[in-house]
Structure 1
């Protein structure tokens, strides 16, 4: 309503209908309140979502921490289990090897050989189970590098030639000098399992290893003339304890290890087989780059030194291992002294005398470790003394630490032939 005064008196009053404007204002107010309410509701929803997400992230962090602790615990358990399980087996192998070096009646020697074969079987089973456990626990980490494939295949030819001859099979391994990029230790294990399976299941004919180089890298194929594998059984052979032919020896773990190792390396494996036409197991590797080879052919060939009269110090906290080592090395003509740790070891040597070589276990009493004792003994003797570490611990950290110190590592149970070869090599 508007009111206007006139000059000669009187007023003019005007009226304007504001109903529409009031309604519009009311509508705007209602819209604003609705938007504010929706914003508040959405804000509350977002805050709830953020809180829920943070809670989930916290749970995931806790779960990740728990998984890492469990994995670390499992790795530690595997190291301890490896040591505890293989200690008595190591002692048994040393005693059997020492017994086998003596003059025995034929029936007695047959029993010794059967005992040695049984120990080999137990060792193979334990090694396979522990290796699968270490792969699953992440305790084995790939050490990727470039290396020549033909040199690896040459060692496998030497290793498996006796097995092929014993089975009346032809073993052909051909390769050209080719560089590949992988973990040489895991790749060797994969090829060993391929070859051992091929030689075990092939009754007659041949086993062949072929290498082909292409734009995608190098393909290694192990081809056998065995019975072959049906298509519906081919996936099963990579599972644990799967053996399609129970008439042959084996634990059914080799190809399970192959699958885990190849997955870890990222190297695809293939199987081409059919009943009656043999099997072809293959693995594809990336090509590597040539690198300088410090371990090529030696320039100086050392003189082999007999082990008769060799003064050996054996350090192990297990009496059975000490006795077994003394018996084995004594049979080789060595002079052997045994100790349980550093204090016992220095008590055995007076004046300027010292051992020619030290064989020492890694895990000793009272928290002592083999590498620590070696350092203390070298300081005590006033100079470097050759040493060999013997341990059931397959951890990467130990290997790296010993490599840096130039100390060779032998795994338990000790293979006498391997120990003899290592001692001769070190004493050249």
Structure 2
């Protein structure tokens, strides 16, 4: 029987004791605490609601302030444009004044100033270099020093005069007792040796503040009307005179009742701490709105408009729900105690220490702890259950370890697959775009030779030379791809020999001296007689890459090739005064297909493999490559090779000659960078009928051409010039701002490459040009890589897409159809 069970009696007595102690403790300690927490929760809800209201108000304030700021910025921009038009008009008048004496012409111009009709509402202003106001539509300011021109607060309007750029000044004056905002925009005009600007009336500041506050009140009223306040609460907003701002439909009688309740006197006594929330309690015997009982509220001082935002509650209504919940809690606790006693009487017989132990073990296993073991204390069913649980844990542990091992292998294989796929994607993207650039330029150059015009043979030969240069660039890119694959495959072995470093220095000096001088750079080699042990060809190519990069990215200054001895090693260094490489890019530039963000001004587009090849060569030679760079100051690349003594060099000459012959014959998989080849290409005849028709249709048409590859840009310029067009060349989206508005306005077509510098696209450039002209300009997109993204964008924008390399017939046909 259950009652006769010793285990049951022990457990039942223990449970009953716990229940009694828990219930008594609950009534004595927990009930007051629960009541306090319930009240606190109601107050927290109220304060949270008030905070949300303030957040909504701030959001509306931010939106309205953003609108006003954009209006002010637009007004400033308009004033700047009007002033520039006025200055251009004055310069045109000045240029029409006859005579060679500059001062006489300036005096005549000043006399004409009074006859000028100022644009918009501005007043013309002129100040000489000494800071004297030589003209102003307000005659009281003429011949006064700039420091005598003061605002409403008696502060000088002009603190200083800047010659380097146009300057915008905002100041205030008092007119008819009102504060008026005024703006001045001026700039230095070097042709006249004076500062010219416009003094604009901007706005009545008081009216704008009132409009802004009215907008905010309307917006806040709309927001509050959509909010639901619990427990019968009411939200009131008082202005700085303690009048009810929101809701605006309060009558004088209702406002009087509010004042009688004591809330206004409470608010007046509060310190005005910005963005602070204060709890208030008042009105236990007053009459009026919700004043039949004690009132409680929370006030938030909104410093931006000197408002008091208060959430008012009747205390009894606010805590009514909490009191009801407290009563229900006591009743539910009593019922739960009775139900628990009943369940204990039925099920405690089945409760034991072993089941608790087994339950604990099972719970920890579920949480992942497979080191647990159930304690076997008997041979009954519970003991057998413990043995089964232990066996199950052992099996789970073994399977988990196997699964973990398999999962690690899977993740490793997945990472390798993802890495390989990313590398393949970068490779295909680079090939499809960069490899097409020079081929496209070459095709256009060669095609332009067939256009029938009056150019002489020398110009045609120059065009052919450019074509060959473009094709050589493509050939070099292909060679780099081949070289990187050979180095990765391990097919290349170095031919180590002992030689004097000066031999390599002399070759590099001969190869790069002329090229450096062509770009206005000073290339200097520090001679050295040190003997080293390395592969001549590998070392030469490494240094060639360092020097060619230095020439490519150095705009002015010098490049230095030299070496320093470091113990038993020689550090061969290439210094330049280029733009430098940021520290964030230095680790990545030796990776494959990675280009630095610095753009070369020599018109060359690279593949991003040069330094990757250098790194792999250095690994094969077992030498160290180092890089140090300072932004806007320069960069130094170094390669460190072992030094040998001159005596060792002389003794090894004979054996070195024999081994070099064998090594030269055995190294079949030679890198392509060590060989040179020339290839000539010819183009077929183009359709003269199509070309002649295009000449007639495209004559004097202004076409804006955009491409960050200067060879492609020059090639399309050659073709369009021969077709009697007027091409405007742009190599980046940043150059658009340098164009004259009249040039863009007369544009008939935009011919843009898709991929531009800095991550921008041809669509970005086209949009900016259309925005400047405020019209839709016909455009053509050119790309060396095909993707669904590019094709989709062209379909949406209805721009024709031409794939590189493109024939002249294709280009003419698309341009004709677009126009």
Given the two structures, how large is their TM-score scaled by the length of structure 1? 0.45
| Larger Cα-atom Rg | 2
Quick one: higher RCO (CA 8 Å, sep 6+), 1 or 2?
1
